[in-house]
Structure 1
Amino acid sequence: MSKSVLELKDLIPCEIMERINRFVVKIKLVDRTEMAHLRNTGRLNGLVERGKYALCIPKSKGKTNFLLIGVKVNESYALIDTKIQCLAFEHAIENNLIPRLIGWKIKEKEKTFLDSRIDYVLVKQTGDSALLEIKSAVDFDGYYSMYPDCPTDRGLKHLRTLTYARKKGMACFIVFIAAHPLAKAFKPNSQADPRIKKALIQAKNAGCVIRSIKFHLEKNGKVLLDNPSLDVVL
């Protein structure tokens, strides 16, 4: 059964008219058009496209007046905002809702390790520590939630950094946020960037823990944890 981990306020329905660039989307409200900020630089194929219904949140700072948060898929919404994906993950781990991460707590965020910035440093009461990197996986092929949806040198660098850290004895986790409501499992998207699958296999062989967690967004603003241990196929 899905469990609510966040509840967003002030969600407003809108219609996507055009993606202006990586960060800005033109949206249509009931009485006007606006520009919305997009905090997900992936291509978002099949989601951020003309005519798609979506949910946005008003904001007061910056060049745009709204944040684009979710895109309608059937009666639910794909959670495309990477910041809110991370917030949902943080609530889940702090409340011990992710089986493989029970007992771990977040110590630091955006930790520089070697020449990469890793999302989280985790700690246990025993004093053990770990590195954890989150990746957004909203690309969808009809069954699998996938990452990436375009070539990513940055993502590849993160995976190689964690593989190196694990070989040096650090515990390392790689977590893919499957934020598409219809996803049944996760796999790397070899068509978008074949290097990622190879890097994930190398990371797993080195001892990195690879997991996928499924969330989606509802119209009422609730972010639901559907599956804390979605199948991962490499």
Structure 2
Amino acid sequence: MILPPLTPGRLIKRYKRFLADIELADGSIVTAHCPNSGSMLGCNLPGSPVLLSLSPNPNRKLAYTWELVQINGYWVGLNTMLPNRLAEEAILDGTVAELQGYPNLRREVAYGSERSRIDILLEGEGRRCYVEVKNVTLVEGGQALFPDAVTTRGQKHLRELMEMVRNGDRGVLLFTVQRGDGNAVAPADRIDPEYGTLLREAVANGVEALAYQALVQPDQIRLIKRLAVVLN
């Protein structure tokens, strides 16, 4: 995924979930849209180098969007609108080897008893594969952790994937790690122990947990390699 030209700055503060004050290189201060509703634990440290995209729409309330932050020398992708696109690209170009062999790929398809929307639906040869994509930005002690806040929505997704497996289809949870310093992925049990318990139950009942790490650079982001998912 090629990124547009980005504007450098430094984070002053992130607040009200969707707002961030940024100091640009010329000393001016702008308020940017923060496209990440999570806690952004470890990724919202004041003074951190950041990169912003600039919207060409003159009528937009906030011209800038906060795209990347640099933590421990690594660029971290914050925009939660990107992981589904990253996953789609990596499936189509063969990077995600485990999800090959399906001639049809659709996005945001209604499914399940609660009529949610699956991020990616793969179809072929009479079997369907439901792929729920999760963005991972928290790393502690070299391990990428999900979630970074309690997620009842994420818990619901796990229950829905288990339902698809019971119906005879594949259910896959795909963690996209948008930073280069995580060596494996694990549930953040201290943050959301119920999610960790439910993830282990889902895997024990046939849901597949995959994790792929992204190469995050100022001009592009792409998934490059599989990481282990540690549940013990």
Count of equivalent residues: 226
Report what 2:69 is aligned to.
71
Shift in CA distance, 72/41, structure 1 to aligned 2, threshold 3 Å: same
CA distance in 1, matches of 2:18, 2:108: 21
TM-score, normalised by the number of residues in structure 2: 0.91
Q: Paired residue for 1:107?
A: 105
Partner of 1:119: 119
> How far has the Cα of 1:103 moved from its partner?
2.0
Matched AA of 2:163: Y
Pair 1:105–1:13, CA change in 2 (3 A):
farther
Q: Distance in 1 between matches of 2:33 and 2:104?
A: 28
Superposed counterparts of 1:120-159, under 5 Å: 120-124=120-124, 126-159=125-158
Pair 1:69–1:121, CA change in 2 (3 A): same
Aligned with 2:13 (options 18, 30, 41): 18
Measure how far apart 1:49 and its partner are.
2.2
Deviations 1:162-221 (A, max 9, x none): 1122112121110011112200000000011001111111111111111001013113x1
5+ unaligned residues in a row in structure 2: which ranges? none
Which of 2, 8, 11 is matched with 1:7 structurally? Answer: 2
* 1:44 shift after superposition: 1.0
Work out the CA distance in 2 between the residues paired with 1:217 and 1:38: 18
What is the aligned-residue RMSD (CA, Å)? Answer: 1.6
- Once the two structures are TM-superposed, the CA of residue 128 in structure 1 deviates from its matched residue by 2.2
Unaligned runs of 5+ in 1: 1-5
| Deviation larger for 104-113 or 150-159 | 104-113
Identity %: 26
2:52 maps to which of 46, 50, 56: 56
What is the one-letter code of the residue matched to 2:122?
L
Partner of 1:225: 223
Alpha-carbon distance, 1:106 to partner: 5.4
Aligned to 1:173: 172
8 Å CA contact 1:16, 1:28 repeated in 2: yes
Q: Closer, same or farther in 2 for the Cα pair 1:99/1:78, shift >3 Å?
A: same
